[in-house]
Amino acid sequence: MSRSKAAGRQLQILNSEIDEPVTQQLDLLSFVSDYALADLSLREKQTRTTIARQNYSRNSSSHGYVDKNKTFETFCTGDSNMFAAVSVKQFVQNDKSSFQILFLKAESGLGKTHLLHAAANELSARKKSFYLSSPLTMSALLDHFHTLKTYQYLLIDDIEELEKNSELQKTFGQILDYAQTGQMKIILTGSKLPKELNNCDERLKGKLSASLIHHLAGLNSVLALEIVKAKSRALDLILPENVKELVASQLDFNVYGLESALLKLKNISDLKKSPVTIELARQEIQVKEKTLTHGIRPLLVDVANSFQISVENLLSHNRRKDYSIARHTAMFILREKENMNIMKIAELFGRDHSSIIYACEKIRKEIETDQRLKKKIEHIISCYN
């Protein structure tokens, strides 16, 4: 088709009174394909237009495998991921928002892919069309801008894979511009911030950086325990509370690590045909003490020994009076003498920050009148230093 004929068709579309918006937009799509891609062969133009037509007609369809078990309801939330989860949910539930692109940044195993599939499940329920993929698995045909823009939502996992494909970088640059016009919404995930993407066009990194960015931080013991409980229920694995707390206390684990540990305990329980004990759990998952750095362990040992309890009891959730006073003392020393961040202490003990503040204030007041406790704390500090 010549450009003049295409222009004539455009005028006809704009002046038409036919109440068939889908047909009109498909005709406009043909015009764009013929006019904007004049340098391509006729066969390639027809192929692109046909693909776009087919995808546009699938107004409530989706592309990509969706895990039905990964929903917003099965996603465990805590301080480290609450805002990200709520933002994703609102983003897909509300057609209009003040931003068009949402970026989730997290290390592997912290839930960003779960949230992406939860979004896809929500969109399926709402009969919205979406494209779920990662850059590496995009096919040669479906990475074209003219096809991608026919979806209402793009859900792209592991965006750092763009670094390996300059052609996809061009496509994403186009699609990000298109999304900013309000024509579609995009959720991206990655283990790197946009500015950290190496071998990516600077303009593309700038466009990605303009999205709403949420971080999913590492697990703390509180959130890890909720995940352990949820995963145990899903596996039909009955564990004593102290075993659940033990698994959750492994702060070097991510969600995948917690799942792996629970699968191992499930397998052993099934083979032995007996419940998992704390001794067996310790042996099988090669427990590491719940310390943030090796430098903290000696202090925790000194505090525990001074109060004649174990380090495990010191870090536990047991509220026995002698455990609590020892725990509060450790928190106080870490905060006041080691200048450790409150959130780090909260992560170590599996508490919220307000509990740490309360404990430190309590010990500070008690040592004003309790000389025995004051001397004990001074002795611990002198030995630790």
Task: Indicate whether 70 and 201 sit together in one domain.
Answer: yes
Same domain, 121 and 243: no
Q: What pLDDT is stored for residue 14 in this prediction?
A: 33
Q: Which residue has the higher pLDDT, 111 or 26?
A: 111
Q: Check whether 111 has a pLDDT greater than 80.
A: yes
Residue 291 lies in a domain: no
Per-residue pLDDT band at 291 (split at 50, 70, 90) = very low
Strand intervals (E) in the chain: 62-63, 101-105, 130-133, 153-156, 185-190, 212-215
Read off the pLDDT of residues 351-384 as tens digits, 9 standing for 90 and up. Answer: 887 889 899 999 999 999 999 999 999 888 887 6
Residue at a domain's end among 24, 42, 57 = 57
Least confident of 123-127, 250-254, 260-264: 250-254
* pLDDT tier for residue 37 given thresholds of 50, 70 and 90: very low
Asked whether residue 76 falls in the same domain as residue 208, the answer is yes
User: What's the pLDDT score for residue 25?
Assistant: 44
In this prediction, residue 108 carries a pLDDT of 85
Whether residue 67 is found in the same domain as residue 211: yes
Q: Which residues contact 16 (CB under 8 A, 6 or more apart)?
A: 24
Answering whether pTM is above 0.75, one says no
Does a structural domain hold residue 11? yes
Q: How many domains does the chain have?
A: 4
- Same structural domain for residues 92 and 183? yes
Q: Point out the domain boundary residue: 215, 244, 262.
A: 215
Mean predicted confidence (pLDDT) in 301-323: 86
Instruction: Say which CATH number the domain at 352 has.
Output: 1.10.1750.10
For 40, 140, 207, 262, the CA distances from 45, given in Å and listed in that order, are 6, 15, 28, 53
194 and 94 fall within a common domain: yes
Q: Which pLDDT band holds residue 319 (cuts at 50, 70, 90)?
A: confident
What pLDDT score does 341 carry?
77
